[in-house]
Amino acid sequence: MKRKSKLPELLAPAGDYKALVAAILGGADAIYLGGEKFGARAYAKNFSEEELASAIKLCHMWGVRVYTTLNTLIFDKELDDAVSYAARLHKMGVDALIVSDLGVISRIRKEVPELELHASTQMGVHNTEGVNFAAALGCKRVVLARECSAADIKIITENSDAEIEVFLHGALCVCHSGQCLFSSMVGGRSGNRGECAQPCRLPYNNGKYPLSLNDLSLSEHIEELIASGVASLKIEGRMKSPDYVYEVTRIYRELLDKNRSSNKNERQRLLDIFSRGGFTDGYFVGDVFRKMTGVRSNEDKQISREISGGSFELTKIPVYAKAVFASDKAASLTLSVDSFERIDKDNTRRLSVTAYGDVPAAAEHSPLTKEGLSARLSKMGNTPFSLALGNIDLELDEGLNLPPSSINALRRDAVAMLEELFAVKLDIILQKNEEIPTRNTIFCIKKQKERAKKLVTALFFKKDTYEKLIDKNSDSLGGIDLIFLPLADYVTAGEKTRKRVLGVYIPPVIMEREWEEVSGLAAKARELGAEYALIGNISHVSLAKAAELTPVGDFRLNVANSACAELYASLGVDAIVLSPELTLPQARDIGGGVITLGRIPLMLTERCFVKENFGCDKCGRASFTDRKGAKFPIIREYLHRNIIFNSAPTYMGDKKSELRAAAIAHEHYIFSSETADECAKLLIDYKRGNTLSIPHRRIGKR
């Protein structure tokens, strides 16, 4: 959906109050920030609920929208609290909530239907079908994956049912957002829960930094971004300093207003503010094979320190007053202020409130004077407002008096009432009735939880490994109900290979430009006998159904609560492999499947790190080695994407009693870098309940 305004919104981050002020001064049209929980930046200072309420009012006074993050995985025990939190934010007047968990979305849509929702980049939307799915859920805006190219963004914007937001500047995750389990599985700090320890910034392979990407900067593509029709341009940086927020916002404000790209001096200023050895626009221009890696050097840090320490203070907002002090009637004070929208300064509205106080009495001596009364009324103190004496229209009968305490109380009441006018959504303040696309909103269909029948599924990432396995050790596959092969491999496989394979693994990322090809492969797979599709993205539901394949949910759907599982079930998803970040008791309460055997994919990258770091001849045999000597295998995904797997497999073969105690009926196996012989041994050990002799991990019980 193309925006209606002349320019896209400039959306800036704020990790604390000072950064909030810096963003306003820098020229942001909107600001996104987080509360003390449920946000993807748990280690930012963030805002208490009292601070959030004040921040929303202040931003609205300056014509700036406020979006609050609630974009982490939510567990069952947190669902009610998250929805209650969303309701409180709506009451505060937040303009939108940035969300990613489909269970939370379905609950909010039913319980707080007026609250505007924006689909977070954590949802992993990278095509029109994904945007329209989010729109059908009730999201007005979708933040696209940072890996989308300019061509993809333009097509999606023109054909989708929701507004489009794209990242403009700031840090890049090397993994597709919402798909990184590295910090969680290896370090115990979940990136999907806002606690990322940034393993991508650490050295691998003898002190190299192959996973550390340069920051994104699209300052040289402003005209193209404006012409694309996107609704919002987002600056990353809730962990960054107020100086960073101000300088980056200020530069992009000027570029947008003048509809031009950055010059050499502006690009250098952006580098000086914060850089990891330079910037990249590789994803945007569609060239992911160029050099995009970089680390933050000591020189980079020193240059940034020289910019720090700025002073950021807002000027007072001018107020106009009408005061009436007459005999035999309550004193009144009317305060007025002009409200506006930064992105559309012509949309201005005069807001007024009137407070009433005590009735003035006849003065025995020293009656009120216009000068003295005006001086007292003009004292705005520690408020966002200023009242010049020349902006006071005062009616005062002669010979009256009123105690100073009563006059001060009248002024305080009027100011409080004026501030409260801004505790609603900015569109309401400006009386804007924006049309929202009419879509059949998907709601979670509540149903009684049904325990799945016993089911064992297995995904083989390598076709040749599977083929060798059925040639030499086909008996080891006994007990597996449903086998999946990658979609493209299934289509090109021979009849012997496909004989026992009823499922295809859909590539988790399908860019707009790839959609038609993948859809065609899915239809072909159905013709060749496939019946099931292992799906890992919200856009895959419609793809599978169009190909008449029954969708089975992969762990990549990030199902971490019952509401999310029920939503997918209502859409016809036959079975779901739950998030591997859940404990066994949490999985038990939801009732889905868990990964019980195999290396869990830690990262899904748009770039081919095998080609860049090892050469194409090492494809299928490459790995990254960390500082402790752990090896993380890398294999090629659809086209030239990569999957980086955990160094240790998950293994529950000797813990089947724990699986039974947690009522785990659906067990899922993953085979990645293993040889056919290794796969056979793992399967035999698992069936026999043997203890594994190699290092391995367990599913948590906490």
- H or E stretch at 418: helix 404-420
Q: What is the pLDDT of residue 231?
A: 98
Q: What is the pLDDT of residue 345?
A: 81
Length of the chain: 702
- Share the mean pLDDT of the chain: 94
Q: Is the pLDDT of residue 442 over 80?
A: no
| CA gap 218, 250 in Å, rounded | 15
CATH superfamily of 455-600+651-688: Aldolase class I (3.20.20.70)
**DSSP assignment of 238-271, as one string?**
TTS-HHHHHHHHHHHHHHHHTT----HHHHHHHH
pLDDT in tens, 568-615: 999 999 899 999 999 999 999 999 999 999 999 999 999 999 999 999
Considering the entire predicted model, what is its pTM?
Answer: 0.95
Q: What is the pLDDT of residue 346?
A: 80
| Residue 139 Rama label (left phi>0; alpha psi -120 to 50; beta) | beta
Yes or no: say if 591 and 663 are a contact pair by the CB < 8 Å rule.
Answer: yes
Q: Is the pLDDT of residue 440 over 80?
A: no
| CA gap 609, 589 in Å, rounded | 39
Q: Is the pLDDT of residue 39 over 90?
A: no
Q: What is the pLDDT of residue 447?
A: 55
pLDDT in tens, 80-136: 999 999 999 999 999 999 999 999 999 999 999 999 999 999 999 999 999 999 999
- What angle is formed at CA 108 by the lines to CA 103 and CA 113, rounded to 5 degrees? 145
Task: Work out the average pLDDT over 184-193.
Answer: 91
| CA gap 323, 313 in Å, rounded | 30
Yes or no: say if 579 and 558 are a contact pair by the CB < 8 Å rule.
Answer: yes
pLDDT in tens, 537-563: 999 999 999 999 999 999 999 999 999
Q: What is the pLDDT of residue 432?
A: 83
Indicate the domain borders of the chain: 9-172+213-307, 317-427, 455-600+651-688
Task: Work out the average pLDDT over 403-417.
Answer: 97
- Regarding beta strands 666-671 and 594-598, do their DSSP bridges make them parallel or antiparallel, or are they unpaired? parallel
By percentage, how much of the chain surpasses pLDDT 90? 90
| CA gap 359, 327 in Å, rounded | 7
Q: Is the pLDDT of residue 702 over 70?
A: no
156: CB partners within 8 A, 6+ apart: 127, 128, 131, 144, 148, 164, 512
| CA gap 290, 279 in Å, rounded | 12
pLDDT in tens, 483-533: 999 999 999 999 999 999 999 999 999 999 999 999 999 999 999 999 999
Mapping DSSP onto H, E and C, the string for 513-569 reads HHHHHHHHHHHHHHHCCCCEEEECCCCHHHHHHHCCCEEEECHHHCCCCHHHHHHHH
pLDDT in tens, 445-484: 555 455 557 999 999 999 999 999 999 999 999 999 999 9
| CA gap 667, 577 in Å, rounded | 8
What is the three-class DSSP state of 394? strand
* Helix 298-307 and helix 264-273, axial crossing angle in degrees, nearest 10: 100
Yes or no: say if 643 and 461 are a contact pair by the CB < 8 Å rule.
Answer: yes
Mapping DSSP onto H, E and C, the string for 4-63 reads CCCCCEEEEECCCHHHHHHHHHHCCCEEEEEECCCCCCCCCCCECHHHHHHHHHHHHHCC
Distances (CA, A) of 573 to 530, 534, 536: 16, 10, 11
Task: Work out the average pLDDT over 408-413.
Answer: 98
pLDDT in tens, 306-335: 988 889 999 999 999 999 999 999 999 999
Residue recorded with tokens 């055997």: 597
Question: CA 225, 66, 58, 258: dihedral to nearest 10 degrees?
Answer: 0
9-172+213-307: what fold?
TIM Barrel (3.20.20)
Task: Work out the average pLDDT over 263-277.
Answer: 97
Q: What is the pLDDT of residue 585?
A: 95
How many DSSP H helices and E strands does the chain contain? 25, 30
Q: What is the pLDDT of residue 436?
A: 56
Distances (CA, A) of 357 to 29, 371, 387, 411: 37, 20, 19, 9
The tokens describing 427, both together, are: 């569109």
Task: Work out the average pLDDT over 649-659.
Answer: 97
By percentage, how much of the chain surpasses pLDDT 70? 96
The beta-strand segments (E) located in 90-230 are 96-99, 117-119, 141-143, 163-170, 215-217
- What angle is formed at CA 484 by the lines to CA 481 and CA 485, rounded to 5 degrees? 150
Task: Work out the average pLDDT over 286-301.
Answer: 91
Q: How confident is the model at residue 253 (pLDDT cuts 50, 70, 90)?
A: very high
477: CB partners within 8 A, 6+ apart: 458, 469, 470, 483, 500, 683
| CA gap 375, 390 in Å, rounded | 11
| 187 or 120: which leads in pLDDT | 120
Q: How confident is the model at residue 284 (pLDDT cuts 50, 70, 90)?
A: very high
Yes or no: say if 102 and 568 are a contact pair by the CB < 8 Å rule.
Answer: yes
Yes or no: say if 692 and 615 are a contact pair by the CB < 8 Å rule.
Answer: no
